[in-house]
């Protein structure tokens, strides 16, 4: 056994001796030297938090939660209204100008060959795959936010 291993054992023996209120045995002067240290390290630390700390914090958390709930409820409603407005506007514009926009596009698609179309689809698939690969680590890392 190396001197370091012996010293580690002595430290651990002293720690166990103090943890078990002297029921464990420690042998040798080496571990005896660590008993005072283990005892000092086990001295309770005074917790200087107000007596109503838990109650106050619970009230604060509940307030925050209801504020967030109200905010998110309002946000959801506003988003829904906006979505409906945009949807209706897009439908109206599409009905008025749609024919003139889509005719040239359909004409060009007819001119494109079958091979060009597959190349275009392949490119879109690559872009989609790359976007998913970029977002995946972010999604997986989200669970560690509390610790960041």
Q: What is the dihedral of CA 25, 29, 30, 32, to 10 degrees?
A: 50
Can residue 60 be called a binding residue for other proteins (CB under 8 A)?
yes
SS3 state of residue 81? helix
Alpha carbon separation from 91 to 70, 84, 100, 101, 129 (Å, rounded): 32, 11, 15, 14, 31
Is 45 a binding residue for other proteins by CB under 8 A? The answer is yes
Q: Which is nearer to other proteins, 26 or 34 (CB)?
A: 34
Q: Closer to other proteins at the Cβ: 43 or 111? A: 43
Task: List Cβ neighbours of 27 (8 Å cut-off, separation of 6 or more).
Answer: 13
How many residues line the site for other proteins (CB under 8 A)?
38
Q: 62 vs 130, which CB is nearer to other proteins?
A: 62
- Would you tell me which residues interact with other proteins (CB under 8 A)? 4, 7-8, 11, 15, 18-19, 33-34, 36-45, 47-49, 53-55, 57-58, 60-62, 64-65, 142-143, 145-148
């Amino acid at each position: 056994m190396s001197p370091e291993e012996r010293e580690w054992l002595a430290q651990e023996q002293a720690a166990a001796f103090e943890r078990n209120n002297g029921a464990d045995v420690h042998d040798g002067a080496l571990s005896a030297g660590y008993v005072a240290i283990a005892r000092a390290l086990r001295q309770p630390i005074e917790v200087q938090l107000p007596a109503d700390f838990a109650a106050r914090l619970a009230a604060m958390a509940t307030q925050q939660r209801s504020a967030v709930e109200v905010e998110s409820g309002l946000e959801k409603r506003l988003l829904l209204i906006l979505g409906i407005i945009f949807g209706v506007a897009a439908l109206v514009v599409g009905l008025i100008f749609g024919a003139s926009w889509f005719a040239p596009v359909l004409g060009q698609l007819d001119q494109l060959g079958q091979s060009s179309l597959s190349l275009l689809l392949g490119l879109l698939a690559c872009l989609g795959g790359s976007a998913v690969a970029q977002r995946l680590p972010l999604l997986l890392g989200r669970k560690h936010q509390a610790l960041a």
